[in-house]
Amino acid sequence: QVQVVESGGGLVQAGGSLRLSCTVSGLTFDDYAMGWFRQAPGKEREGVSAIGSGRPYYADSVKGRFTISRDNAKNTVYLQMNSLKPEDTAMYYCAAGPLSVVVVTTTPDNGIRVDGMDYWGKGTLVTISS
């Protein structure tokens, strides 16, 4: 049984930092692309960042502030979030999809769309106060 578990969310002031972690079990982590997504109240879920075996992808809204990384030995993917803004407030979700299936494309508003994710976590809440 595959489990995807996020952690690291919380309440921080604007300008602060948080590091989200996502640990996956029940699959061969090296064979999977990982992604971070977020959903703010009243908005649709959006792709934030993704990483496979090559370069990472970022939505323009977080580029230069967020960094995704993965530790295959620990079956864990991280999202380091710096210079946080109130508009980053959202539930953040981690997801996994096979490297051979996942496709990342750029959306018209310079976000990212990540297709092919099979397994999702329950999310971790990030709240940024102004």
In order along its 130 residues, the chain shows pLDDT tens digits of 999 999 999 999 999 999 999 999 999 999 999 999 999 999 999 999 999 998 999 999 999 999 999 999 999 999 999 999 999 999 999 999 999 999 999 999 999 999 999 999 999 999 999 9
- State the pLDDT at residue 84: 98
Exposed (0-12), middle (13-18) or buried (19+): which is 51, by Cβ within 10 Å?
buried
37 HSE (CA, 13 A, CB side): 23
3-state secondary structure of 7: strand
Distance CA 99, CA 29 (A): 10
